[in-house]
Homo-oligomer: A and B are copies of this chain.
Amino acid sequence: MKEHDFERRYTALRKIVDRRIATLARRGKPADLNDGCHYVLSAGGKRIRAVLVLLSCEAVGGNIRQALDAGVAVETMHNFTLVHDDIMDHASSRRGRPAVHVRWNDNTALLVGDSLMGLAYISLMRTARKVQAPLVELLTEGLIEVCEGQALDLEFEGRNDVTLREYFTMIEKKTGRLIAVATEMGGVIGGGTSRQTCALHQFGRYLGRAFQLQDDVLDVVADQGRFGKPIGGDIIAGKKTFLLLKAAERATGNDRLLTKRLVRHHGAVPPSERGRVIAEVTALYRRLGVIAEAERQIRRNTTLAVGALGALPRNRATGMLRWLSEALVHRNS
């Protein structure tokens, strides 16, 4: 398959997911709650987790139709985390539209998130009965780990001594686990051997790590219009990203004073100073080469992810998974 064919198939799979996920929200009363769920689920997005479930299923010999409801389940679970994270992070927008708690209010957003979690399980239970039990266990494990990851992320905002090792534990839970759940689920649904589902899990872990590192990088270098959320959000929120922690490790002289100030800065930067702070920090990151270092780590994890695919048959789906991992490194949104 050529680049163009990969892209075309990705778009086709994404649309299949979009169509199915749009039917998941309930209609009618209570209006705010159901409209809110519909608003989130119809917002599009890359649907990467759902597509990973479909492709992982096909990779081990299954049919994507068997995996669609599970794909929608993982994607819905991911959307629940976004709705609650946006409340906690006071994020104003998501996918180029107001966040749920801004469009409605905090209480509605809280309940929309809770309901999405329920809808995720409803979708999951539409999968063939004989794989339901391991799928429920996987989805639940994903849910709990994502909560732990978000709790660590919030805890880190208030600490000055976060290490890169702790950072990797946090992103493993917050981002990596649900991606690994997606790829492992696909393997289980497709009837893969335990060696194959294990390889798919490893693939998801490395991919998730590359994905989160890329998210950290995109926060400072993305094309704002395509990224869908404001640039420099992590800097403004005082998030302990890979870039900041690596900068703190490398900086000397005046740069060291600046990174210390950034690490100690807890809470949001006032609006009037945001532009200046973002420019200053971006320049610091470039000066210390931490963006280039993050890109090296992204490539390394992508290589490990592609390596894990070696345990799987060479077919159209594994070709897609390989392409997808490499496309990630070059994404700009």
Binding site for B on A (CB under 8 A): 26, 29-33, 84, 87-88, 107-108, 110-111, 113-115, 117-119, 121-122, 125, 129, 132-133, 136-137, 139-140, 143-144, 147-148, 150-152, 154-155
Contact = CB atoms under 8 A, between A and B. Distances in A.
User: Which DSSP category, helix, strand, loop or mixed, fits chain A's interface?
Assistant: helix
Contact of A118 (B111, B115, B147, B154): B147
Contacts of A136: 121, 125, 132, 136
Nearest to A132: B133
Contact of A151 (B108, B132, B139): B108
A61 B238 CA distance: 58
Given A30-B155, A110-B87, A155-B32, A144 B115 contact: yes
A117 to B, nearest CB: 6
Which 4 A/B pairs are nearest by Cβ-Cβ distance? A30-B151, A33-B151, A118-B144, A118-B143
B110 A30 contact: no
B140 A133 contact: no
B140 A107 contact: no
Contacts of A31: 155
Contacts of A143: 114-115, 117-118, 121
B111 A150 contact: yes
